[in-house]
Amino acid sequence: MNSELWNRAKAFHGHECPGLAIGVKACEAAMERLGIGRASDEEALCVAENDACGVDAVQAILGCTVGKGSLIFRNTGKQVFTFVNRDTGQAVRLYLKARRDKDTDRGVWQQYLLDAPPEEIFEFSAPQFEIPETARIFPSVPCDICGEYAAEHRIRLQEGKKVCMDCFRRYSRGWGNG
């Protein structure tokens, strides 16, 4: 276990827990496999498939954030992190394959996660989706209903009006993508 990374993640997250340990271990594996470190911009990208404690480790250790466009949520509810080194184009998907036995103490489980080799707790594979492009800046457009401005790519056209996502009325007639 890298105690410096663990302490940085704990300080950011506010406490220690097994979920944070998963994120720390995922970051260690990504750093080793992809040669990434703490990013000042979008050199490192993380696509997190959950909104759990481990995501805080990604922010604290790798500097990936939503605001920089280097932390993207694809919330499938899975303990999966896809890391990308944008400088080299290399990417790796880490799926948490290790499972806690219901009788295993939480502290013991946490320590196991921190001490085990990454190959023992994660399944490594190629990403199962196209790597997102770098962040773009979009002009703001006023909603014709509420008047609030929203990024152009989030505006919808409805009955000839430009409307924000809050004012947009979905249309659905049952099943399908409506």
- Give me the CATH topology for the region 3-125: 60s Ribosomal Protein L30; Chain: A; (3.30.1330)
Q: Is 149 helix (H, G, I), strand (E, B) or coil?
A: strand
Confidence tier at 115 by pLDDT (50, 70, 90): very high
Buried b (16+ CB within 10 A) or exposed e, 104-139: eeeeebbebbbeeeeeebbeeeeeeeeeeeeeeeee
- Give me the CATH topology for the region 136-178: Wheat Germ Agglutinin (Isolectin 2); domain 1 (3.30.60)
User: How deeply is 141 buried, as exposed, middle or buried, from its count of CB atoms within 10 A (0-12, 13-18, 19+)?
Assistant: middle
Query: Rounded distance, CA 33 to CA 37, Å?
Result: 11
Provide the whole-model pTM. 0.83
Query: Rounded distance, CA 175 to CA 178, Å?
Result: 7
- Backbone φ and ψ for 44, nearest 5 degrees, come out as -110, 135
Q: Which two tokens stand for residue 45?
A: 């990208």
Domain 136-178 in the same topology as domain 3-125: no
Structural domain boundaries of the chain? 3-125, 136-178
* pLDDT tens-place string over residues 126-166: 998 888 888 888 999 999 999 999 999 999 999 999 999 99
* pLDDT tens-place string over residues 54-96: 999 999 999 999 999 999 999 999 999 999 999 999 999 999 9
